[in-house]
């Protein structure tokens, strides 16, 4: 099998969830399907890090002059895949090419641009919707990380459920227990001196960072004096805006705002945190939930979209639109160490449902179906 991968999320700066997951997925694919070969198309100029197994994955830079309106993804990428005579092209980041000259499988994580259209230019929202419709109608297969996303594609876009593979992610393999005696240098570099709540912030309104800070301001003052809130993942503009919010709310050093955390620091931050707060308004899956469980840390998350499907009973669930609901959840978890311990125990048991071996096997089977390989094998039998 010869596969093309849109690998831009892997080789971008400040890699987030999708890029990290693709590294884990394609690294394991080289083990479960050792005869398969992958071309990882990207747009990162200059040398790229050797992030994937070199014997199975070939990074390949492709560019185009005057790229506008996602033309690289819509036309340039499939042209390169056709010229390279691939069996299947995998588009892993919600978007489907306008032209599909070969079997194409699309991962649709979520429909967030349609749920929050005011956060994007109208033309971009329209392109996203057309791309989803195109994938539901013409792609050889669709992969979704949750039943929540699959069901929406079926109901809203008339997708054939038999062409959709629900393939949940597994926790980031870099998240491993970090011994407590190694925490101090990392925590000192972030200004953490007390038990703390970790929140992955962002400029996107759906990440709910401003409401998270407002909820923190309403927490029990005694608890708040004993704890800190660490917000990581902020760009410079958002950092300044939230600094002003923290100042107006007189939160002082109880809130620590930080830019993008070094990937090498994340395992320590996840393990050292006493609680992870993830009050997102909408997610197609919810990777921080799995990462919290892998780190042995209790988590607070939202009672909506895919998050309840993933978290089940191993988290404190809150209404992300209600700051006081977030506050109640924070107060409850900060004062109750036994509850935090119970959630960690439940999370570790639930984590057994999410393994990279199972995720990779489901992905490989979806690729084989898209290529018509399984049909061919059944006919031969």
Nearest to 311 by CA among 281, 335, 337, 343: 343
Report pLDDT for 51: 87
Same domain, 276 and 327: yes
Q: What mean pLDDT comes out for the span 266-291? A: 96
Look-up of token digits 């990162």:
44
- Condensed to tens digits (0 to 9), the pLDDT of residues 68-121 reads 778 898 899 999 999 999 999 999 999 999 999 999 999 999 999 999 999 999
pLDDT, position 88: 97
> Where residue 66 falls among pLDDT bands split at 50, 70, 90?
low
Q: Using CA of residue 129, residue 123, residue 17, residue 184, what is the dihedral sign?
A: negative
Q: Which of 73-77, 87-91, 140-144, 314-318 has the lowest mean pLDDT?
A: 73-77
Instruction: Assess whether 210 and 232 both reside in one domain.
Output: yes
Whether residue 81 lies inside any domain: the answer is yes
Query: Is 15 a residue whose pLDDT tops 80?
Result: no
For residues 92 and 33, what is the distance between their CA atoms, to the nearest angstrom? 19
> Which string of b and e fits 109-140 if b means at least 16 CB within 10 Å?
bbbbbeeeeeebeeeebebbbebbbbbbeebb
Whether residue 374 is predicted with pLDDT greater than 60 in this model: the reply is: no
Tokens of 147: 């039943």
Q: Which domain holds residue 359?
A: 2-170+355-380
175 within some domain: no
304 and 219 both lie in a single domain: yes
Q: What pLDDT score was predicted for residue 35?
A: 96
Shared domain for 368 and 272, answered yes or no, is no
| One domain, residues 195 and 232 | yes
Three-state DSSP class for residue 233: coil
Give CA–CA dist 244/230, Å, rounded: 16
109 touches 96 (CB < 8 A): no
Same domain, 200 and 227: yes
- How many CB atoms lie under 10 A from the CB of residue 186? 20
> Is 217 part of a structural domain of the chain?
yes
Q: Residue 378 pLDDT > 70, yes or no?
A: no
C-alpha–C-alpha distance, residues 83 and 205, integer Å: 41
Residue 348 covered by a domain? yes
Using only C-alpha atoms, what is the Rg of the chain?
Answer: 22
Looking at the structure of the chain, the number of domains it has is 2
Burial 76-106 (b: 16+ CB within 10 A, else e): bbbebbeebebbbbbbbbbbbbbebebbbbb
CB of 162 within 8 A of CB of 345? no
What residues pair up with 255 in beta bridges, in sequence order?
A: 229
Residue 320 lies in a domain: yes
**Residue 266 lies inside a defined structural domain of this protein:** yes
Are 87 and 201 in a shared domain? no
Beta bridge partners of 59: 40
Q: Does position 376 have pLDDT exceeding 70, yes or no?
A: no
Q: How far apart are CA 67 and CA 42, in angstroms?
A: 14
Which token pair is 355?
Answer: 């393994």
- Chain segment 186-202, per-residue pLDDT in tens: 999 999 999 999 999 99
Q: Based on the domain organization, do 252 and 364 belong to the same domain?
A: no
Q: Are residues 59 and 197 in the same domain?
A: no
Any idea what the CATH number is for the domain that residue 286 is in? 3.40.50.2000
**In this structure, are 254 and 332 located in the same domain?**
yes
* 150 falls within a domain: yes
- At residue 96, φ and ψ (nearest 5 deg) are -115, 135
12 Ramachandran zone, left/alpha/beta (phi>0; psi -120 to 50): beta
pLDDT tier, 44 (very low <50, low <70, confident <90, very high otherwise): confident
Whether residues 163 and 276 share a domain: the answer is no
Same domain, yes or no: 15 and 128: yes
Q: 216 in a domain, yes or no?
A: yes
């Amino acid at each position: 099998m010869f596969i093309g991968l849109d690998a831009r999320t892997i080789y971008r700066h400040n890699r987030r969830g999708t890029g990290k997951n693709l590294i884990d997925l394609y690294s394991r694919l080289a083990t479960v399907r050792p005869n398969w070969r992958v071309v990882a198309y990207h747009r990162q100029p200059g040398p790229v890090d050797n992030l994937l197994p070199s014997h199975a994955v070939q990074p390949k830079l492709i560019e185009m002059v005057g790229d506008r309106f996602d033309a690289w993804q819509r036309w340039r990428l499939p042209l390169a895949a056709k010229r390279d005579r691939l069996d299947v092209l995998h588009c892993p980041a919600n978007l489907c090419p306008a032209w599909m000259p070969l079997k194409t499988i699309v991962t649709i994580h979520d429909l967030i641009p349609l749920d929050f259209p005011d956060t994007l230019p109208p033309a971009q929202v329209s392109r996203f919707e057309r791309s989803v419709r195109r994938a539901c109608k013409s792609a050889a297969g669709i992969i979704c990380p949750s039943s929540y996303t699959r069901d929406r594609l079926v109901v809203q876009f008339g997708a054939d459920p038999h062409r959709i593979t629900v393939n949940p992610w597994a926790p980031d393999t870099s998240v491993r227990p970090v011994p407590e005696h190694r925490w101090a240098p990392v925590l000192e570099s972030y200004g953490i001196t007390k038990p703390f709540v970790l929140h992955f912030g962002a400029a996107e309104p759906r990440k709910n960072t401003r409401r998270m800070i407002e909820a923190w301001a309403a927490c029990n003052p005694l608890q708040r004096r004993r704890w800190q809130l660490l917000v990581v993942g902020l760009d410079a503009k958002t950092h300044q805006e939230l600094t002003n919010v923290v100042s107006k709310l007189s939160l002082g050093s109880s809130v620590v705002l930080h830019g993008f955390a070094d990937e090498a620091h994340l395992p320590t931050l996840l393990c050292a945190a006493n609680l992870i707060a993830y009050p997102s308004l909408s997610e197609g899956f919810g990777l921080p939930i799995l990462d919290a469980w892998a780190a042995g840390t209790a988590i607070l998350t939202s009672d909506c979209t895919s998050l309840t499907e993933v978290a089940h009973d191993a988290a404190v669930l809150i209404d992300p639109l209600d700051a006081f609901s977030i506050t109640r959840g924070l107060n409850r978890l900060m004062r109750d160490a036994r509850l935090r311990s119970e959630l960690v125990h439940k999370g570790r048991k639930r984590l057994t449902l999410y393994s990279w071996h199972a995720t990779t096997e489901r992905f490989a089977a979806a690729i084989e179906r898209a290529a018509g390989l399984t049909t061919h094998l059944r006919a031969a039998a």
